[in-house]
Homo-oligomer: A and B are copies of this chain.
């Protein structure tokens, strides 16, 4: 099954050729609608192809089919990052397992805080895919569209409390100059109330998006159009 077809839960033909940056994309069907902003998201067609590499999707197995069905049921579409991994189901499963553990499992950091780290890191790395997808997540989880914009543009502009500010300062330092992170940085997190387990998690989430940003940039991954207008 093709990647685009997988996205739509259908079997129709989908673009597979890698396209240059300047190609006029946009033939793929848009997402089916998304909570809170169906009208706007419908205005935009998804970029196609979703990566600038010619990697045919592998046949999906039952586990992935069920996972994607759940995505479509909950948010109306399968996030393109998952489709991008369908050329190799082992990689897709490893990615999804790590993502879901880090971002969704119980944790001393709220889901919103983990998404704030994701966007602040992705802003340093100027990752179009992750800023789009996780910027939308910050807007959704916070109910504060302005907060989402601030994480994308410059997290220092947000009026945060000392704890969240320290969390993002650490994440950004770990992104920009990881070699310079030392005991006093960890101690700074402890002083505003983070546990050692939280410090692991802050590091791990910041680190994960340093990975994802680069998979996305290395492959020119394109976000689902539906993210752009959602939760504004």
> Which residue of the partner chain, among B105, B152, B179, B217, contacts A125 with CB atoms under 8 Å?
B179
> Which residue of the partner chain, among B22, B98, B180, contacts A98 with CB atoms under 8 Å?
B98
Copies of chain A in the complex: 6
Q: How far is the CA of A95 from the CA of B213 in the complex (A)?
A: 18
Shortest CB distance A60–B (Å)? 18
Known contacts A53-B200, A98-B95, A200-B219, A159 near B128 by CB under 8 Å: no
A156 lies within 8 A of B179 (CB): yes
Q: How far is the CA of A199 from the CA of B215 in the complex (A)?
A: 10
A131's nearest neighbour on chain B, judged by CB, is B153
Q: How far is the CA of A210 from the CA of B47 in the complex (A)?
A: 27
Shortest CB distance A220–B (Å)? 7
A203 lies within 8 A of B174 (CB): no
Other contacts beyond A97-B97, A123-B126, A207-B218: 16, CB < 8 A: A21-B159, A22-B161, A22-B165, A53-B199, A55-B200, A90-B101, A126-B154, A131-B154, A145-B228, A154-B179, A156-B180, A170-B218, A174-B214, A186-B218, A186-B220, A202-B218
Assign chain A's interface to a size class: 35 or more
Known contacts A128-B150, A174-B218, A199-B219, A162 near B22 by CB under 8 Å: yes
Q: 4 closest pairs, A vs B, by CB?
A: A203-B218, A126-B179, A211-B211, A207-B214
Contacts of A146 in B (CB 8 A): 44, 225, 228
Contacts of A162 in B (CB 8 A): 22
The majority secondary structure among interface residues of chain A is helix
Q: A residues engaging B (CB < 8 A)? A: 18, 20-25, 37, 40, 43-44, 47, 51-55, 87, 90-91, 93-95, 97-98, 101-102, 105, 123, 125-128, 131-132, 145-146, 149-150, 152-154, 156-157, 159-162, 165, 170, 174-175, 178-183, 186, 196-197, 199-200, 202-204, 206-208, 210-215, 217-220, 225, 228-229, 232
